[in-house]
Amino acid sequence: MLARTLNDFHHWLPASKLVFAPSIILDPVQGLPASLASEVARHLNEFDDGAEGRWIAFAPELIEAIARDSAQLSLLGLDDERGRMFSADPNSIRRRVLKALARRGHAVLDGPLAADASRSLETVFRAGLGRPPKDIGELHLLLNPDRFSECCLPSLIGDTYLEWQAAWQRADAV
């Protein structure tokens, strides 16, 4: 699902916080198809039984709307952030919003700002597209776009995430 409105955001918000609810960050090592985040969320809503249809991607204009509205920031626990953050760096508030969304879980976020904002979060699965560099950094998965059809990418990312989540849950049970 691609959230485009504050109403979409409000429906997702109360149900998004669970005990174990990681998010997915799509890191544009080489660029990403525009609809990839929403397609990954759609795939996970079909195949991640434990999430009960809570996976969501956010349109860039919705991130901007949340960042501009103190009531929306308050819903994310960023009550006092708007005034302080805009005076320093325009990307700071968006970075804080993206980090708060990733922390809540069941969010598929994309772009360099989302990757940077979530760098300190352990409950984030990171996937990227690009040719393999010598060091893939924090990525869990790097797909070479020359080797896969674009229509295969959401299921490759979603299914690999589900395997990662299952391994993490098994490790916590031991």
Q: What would the pLDDT profile of 158-170 be if each residue is shown by its tens digit? A: 999 999 988 877 7
- 3-class secondary structure, 23: strand
Beta carbons of 140 and 127 less than 8 angstroms apart: yes
Contact between 104 and 13 (Cβ < 8 Å): yes
> What is the pLDDT, as a whole number, of residue 160?
94
Protein fold of 2-173: Rossmann fold (3.40.50)
Token digits for 8?
A: 């979409």
Q: In which residue ranges of the chain is pLDDT below 50?
A: 82, 85-88, 174
What was the pLDDT predicted at 173? Answer: 58
pLDDT confidence of residue 20: 60
The rounded distance, in Å, linking the Cα atoms of 74 and 20 is 23
Q: What is the pTM of this model?
A: 0.86
Q: What is the pLDDT of residue 59?
A: 93
The Cα–Cα gap between 90 and 75 comes to: 20
